[in-house]
Amino acid sequence: MKKNILLNILVCFIIFLGSCSKNVANKNGAVSSTSKIASQVGVNVLKQGGNAFDALVATGFALAVTSPANGNLGGGGFLVARTSSGEIISLDFREKAPRSSFEKMFLDENENYDKEIALYSHKSSGVPGTVDGLIKIFEDYGSGKFTLQQIIEPAIILAKNGFPLEEAAAYSFDNYKFEFLEDKGSTDIFINSNDEVLSLKKRFTNNDIEEKEYKERLDAIDIWKEGDIFVQKDLSKTLERIAINGRMGFYQGVTADLIVNEMQKNGGLISKDDLIKYESKYRVPIIGTYKNYVIASMGPPSSGGTLLVQMLNMLENFNIAEMKRNSSEFVHLLTEVQRLAYADRSIHLGDPDFWDNPIEILISKKYAKERLKLISLNEATPSDEIAAGHQFAESNETTHYSVMDKYGNTAGITTTINFSYGNKKIVDGAGFLLNNEMDDFSAKPNVPNAFGLVGDKANAIEPYKRPLSSMSPTLVINEKGETILTLGAAGGSRIITAVLQIILSVIDHDLTIQKAIDHPRTHSQWIPDLIFYEKKSLNSKTMKQLKDLKHKFYKETTDLARAHGIQRKDGTFITGADKRGEYNGKEAITY
């Protein structure tokens, strides 16, 4: 490992990242992620002459340590990138359904959806793809200046020696005490041998205390505080096996045995054969245009790119630049357009290895104009009057990170384990959390999943199939052929509409990436037939005007989705990091 990379990390630790995480513009390169520490790992790789792909992979492995709620080894995701030669690539390393999975596995004896099994059991875990995906990116597009061991070494050190928790992370760990106590591995890592908590758990298990009192007393105990050093010894050993043996260090050998043992002990489905057979796949990216800009995004099994281009095709028929952002005119139009796109999502999109996705039609300008005939600019269209087009026969805890380099490479990854901390189950001895991505499948036609999304046969559970996703890593390229924006978000079904609104803010309203991310947003997704809205997004006058148009609203929220991105403007990199939720907007770093 190059000594100065490690030295830079240690310097950041000593000063608690104060000067290492300023969100400023620069001309050499930039990294944007949900973790200041992970972003700095990526920037240090760039400083050593690495390219965007080297930095992206180093950041990804570091996020597996510093952001256990969403950064992961036990999940999966998507890459959308553009190389210095102009090649646009997209890589699918989404989780896959185990061989022994079946369509009705989350239905009870009465054929009703069983939320507990779908979200919190070991059966909810798909075969992880993150490790295979990151290694494929590094091997195929890395600069060749680093070994895999050098790229992963910072993550290993962070896991082995620990890192200081920020206040939000300490609060998050404490907030999930009850769930962590349901799993031995999670208890060992997140409960931190707290005698008071463990005693309470024992009393509850022995029926010596009622559940209500148990939860109330748990809530009153703070295990973690800002500045505590969070150590993950088992995870460091897993990372070491990957660093030495590549993908075989995860999908075979000791780590694979630990995963399979965890499944066999707890009724899970992932087998050794499932792990050995897993492979990430390059997909055809979704390419569209909006005005004079090229939009490049992820195709199925992500619905993000298809819906994004479809909605931009519809919005291109209106003068968005003349509309005041979050005016009743603007929100009404967006809501109607979103309603049409999400209706199509429910019927027409699924894993392309199992389903014939009508992408060319869905992203065509002609189809957009046909769909627009179904809505009115003068009144909300009830969702039950909108069906998917028939002209032809997704915790919220996701994370997006992006890198741009001085060589002209741009790369963005969105990964997830679905809910915060996935199904809250740690692989004993391996130190990483399992995903609960199987809930992203349609367990039963027209029955909403955890994010209120409905689906049909296209997204039904089948062995080896990948569930439909809303993750939307996206690039924007200007008329000169320059990549001016890499962008993505976390937030389940709200990812796509967040990316859409940020792109409109940058292109039509000429905002910088940070101001575009900061701007309050709204969201609608066909079902439920409601407008979701963030605090300060809609004033009382606008709310009344939208109600007069017969729109209905969900309760106000502070956090619909959390976005990260990088903008290149006049040869300068400008980073954007979301201040919503637990993030403070300082995770994006330039040098």
Give the model's confidence band at 394: pLDDT under 50 very low, under 70 low, under 90 confident, else very high. Answer: very low
Please indicate, yes or no, whether the overall pTM of this predicted structure exceeds 0.85.
yes
Mind spelling out the 3-state secondary structure of 442-497?
ECCCCCCCCCCCCCCHHHECCCCCCCCECCCCEEEECCCCCEEEEEEEECHHHHHH
Give the model's confidence band at 24: pLDDT under 50 very low, under 70 low, under 90 confident, else very high. Answer: very low
Residues present in the chain in total: 591
Q: How is residue 71 written in tokens?
A: 């950064």
Burial 208-219 (b: 16+ CB within 10 A, else e): ebeeeebeeebe
* Residue the block writes with tokens 């005041």: 324
Q: What is the pLDDT of residue 582?
A: 53
> What mean pLDDT is predicted for residues 301-328?
97
Respond yes or no: is residue 416 known to be catalytic. no
The DSSP bridge partners found for residue 563 are: 489
DSSP H or E run through 89: strand 88-93
Amino acid at 548: D
Cβ 126 vs Cβ 95: under 8 Å? yes
How many C-beta atoms surround the C-beta of residue 225 within 10 A?
A: 11
Q: What is the pLDDT of residue 551?
A: 97
DSSP H or E run through 286: strand 286-290
User: Residue 467: what are its φ and ψ, rounded to 5°?
Assistant: -70, 150
Q: What is the pLDDT of residue 90?
A: 98
How many C-beta atoms surround the C-beta of residue 482 within 10 A?
A: 14
Q: What is the pLDDT of residue 418?
A: 86
Q: Does position 107 have pLDDT exceeding 70, yes or no?
A: yes
- Choosing from 398, 486, 522, 542, the catalytic residue is 398
How many C-beta atoms surround the C-beta of residue 377 within 10 A?
A: 11
d(CA 26, CA 413) in angstroms, rounded, equals 22
Give me the half-sphere count of Cα atoms (radius 13 Å) on the Cβ side of residue 53. Answer: 28
d(CA 58, CA 27) in angstroms, rounded, equals 21
Residue ranges with strand state E in 125-250: 163-164, 229-230
CA 552, 558, 559, 564 torsion: positive or negative?
A: positive
* Residue the block writes with tokens 């809205």: 533
> What mean pLDDT is predicted for residues 132-145?
98
What angle, rounded to 10 degrees, do the helices at 3-14 and 36-47 form?
Answer: 150
| pLDDT tens-digit map of 74-84 | 999 999 999 99
Strand ordering across the sheet containing 562-569: 286-290, 293-297, 474-477, 483-490, 562-569, 572-577
Q: How is residue 291 written in tokens?
A: 């005005």
* Residue the block writes with tokens 């082995």: 160
Q: How is residue 351 written in tokens?
A: 């894993």
Q: How is residue 386 written in tokens?
A: 């909108």
215: left (phi over 0), alpha (psi -120 to 50) or beta: alpha
Mean pLDDT of the chain: 91
DSSP H or E run through 29: strand 29-32
Q: What is the pLDDT of residue 446?
A: 56
d(CA 102, CA 492) in angstroms, rounded, equals 24
Q: Does position 4 have pLDDT exceeding 50, yes or no?
A: no
- CA distance readout (Å), 330 to 78, 336, 471, 506, 515: 30, 10, 24, 15, 18
DSSP H or E run through 163: strand 163-164
Q: Does position 456 have pLDDT exceeding 70, yes or no?
A: no
- CA distance readout (Å), 476 to 296, 567, 570: 6, 9, 15
User: Residue 563: what are its φ and ψ, rounded to 5°?
Assistant: -110, 150
Highest mean pLDDT (candidates 69-73, 307-311, 346-350)? 307-311
78: closest CA among 438, 400, 343?
400
> What mean pLDDT is predicted for residues 71-100?
96
Give the model's confidence band at 25: pLDDT under 50 very low, under 70 low, under 90 confident, else very high. Answer: low
Q: How is residue 538 written in tokens?
A: 């809609």
Mind spelling out the 3-state secondary structure of 341-406?
HHHHHHHHCCCCCCCCCCHHHHCCHHHHHHHHCCCCCCCCCCHHHCCCCCCCCCCCCEEEEEEEEC
Domains and CATH numbers, the chain: 282-396+471-590 (1.10.246.130)
How many C-beta atoms surround the C-beta of residue 419 within 10 A?
A: 25
Give the model's confidence band at 27: pLDDT under 50 very low, under 70 low, under 90 confident, else very high. Answer: confident
d(CA 352, CA 197) in angstroms, rounded, equals 47
Q: Does position 21 have pLDDT exceeding 50, yes or no?
A: no
